[in-house]
Structure 1
């Protein structure tokens, strides 16, 4: 049994470096800004709230690749980027993939609703990290920041700043993470 565990660990460590190299090879266009981690990082199991005020957690999304977007209603680049995240969710969202948007800091629900309405966003959740606990735990210093989380709940890549998340190069990277 121990032998299989050691073999599995060795294979998984090699696979992580290979997977990182595969993602690096796919970086083009705006995705050149994407930082790919050779070793995936753990994500915090801290709570955030949904539009009803119910507590939620990133652990709910285990088993799916997640694009976790940190944003705020006052953030101009967030306003530009959000429609592409909405289109990405429409195209790729499902059993294997989900876009999770997390309004960080003071973002009252009416302002989030108005932001989504003005931006034409209809498919994304209105989650809030009001106390910025997740943002702080993940070292989010500015907005927008988008984190790619693998199906095991680990951060595999991060992009600081806005991007067109439904562009072919972004979808290619995400599909590679989904395919493992």
Structure 2
């Protein structure tokens, strides 16, 4: 004997569970426009030499994209780690590119910030959020690690030493391949 009355109850239960879990996303997750497993969105940027480049030109390399602002407290805690633990370690590695993008900052603002804070890594201006808008709606700092095929393999929002250590480990592993 078939009991058809259970099917609507089961479907209703599944819908309720799905609704509950979809509402449990953090604000950072809800503001994200790209996620691990997706291809990096297409964008262009102006490098330190003043040349316009496309992220697609970096295919074949491991790429780290970091979004920050000069006024952001967590960003100011993270940037020295990026310089010391990532930039200084991998700056000469031909299989790696670091893109540190100043959200809503001009080239001039970033140049002054670089001197003021004594950074040696290069900053990329994104004054109109044109690049940032392809990744998220809000919240910084944000880090994305992109593999040699252009796929996002790591993403984080905010600064947490444990998460940053995880990022460094994944980056190290990717560069061994």
Note whether the superposition's TM-score is higher than 0.5: yes
The alpha carbon displacement at 1:169 in A equals 4.3
- SS of the aligned residue for 1:42 comes to coil
| TM-score normalised over the length of structure 2 | 0.68
Q: Which residue does the alignment assign to 1:89?
A: 87
CA distance in 2: counterparts of 1:139 and 1:84, whole angstroms: 23
Moved over 6 A (4+): none
Q: Which residue does the alignment assign to 2:15?
A: none
Change in 2 beyond 3 A, CA 1:108/1:158: same
CA RMSD, aligned part only?
A: 2.5
The alpha carbon displacement at 1:90 in A equals 1.1
Change in 2 beyond 3 A, CA 1:59/1:163: farther
Number of corresponding residues: 141
Q: Does 1:75 align with 2:72?
A: yes
Ranges in structure 2 where 5+ consecutive residues have no aligned partner = 1-34
**CA deviation map 1:93-134 (0-9, x unaligned):** 3112222101122x1223212222233210x22212222122
Ranges in structure 1 where 5+ consecutive residues have no aligned partner = 1-35
Which deviates further from its counterpart, 52-61 or 139-148? 52-61
| TM-score normalised over the length of structure 1 | 0.67
Between structure 1 and structure 2, the one with the greater Rg is 2
Equivalent residue in structure 1 for 2:61, among 64, 76, 79: 64
Equivalent residue in structure 2 for 1:157, among 154, 161, 164: 154
The alpha carbon displacement at 1:48 in A equals 2.3
Change in 2 beyond 3 A, CA 1:51/1:90: closer
Higher strand proportion (structure 1 or 2): 1
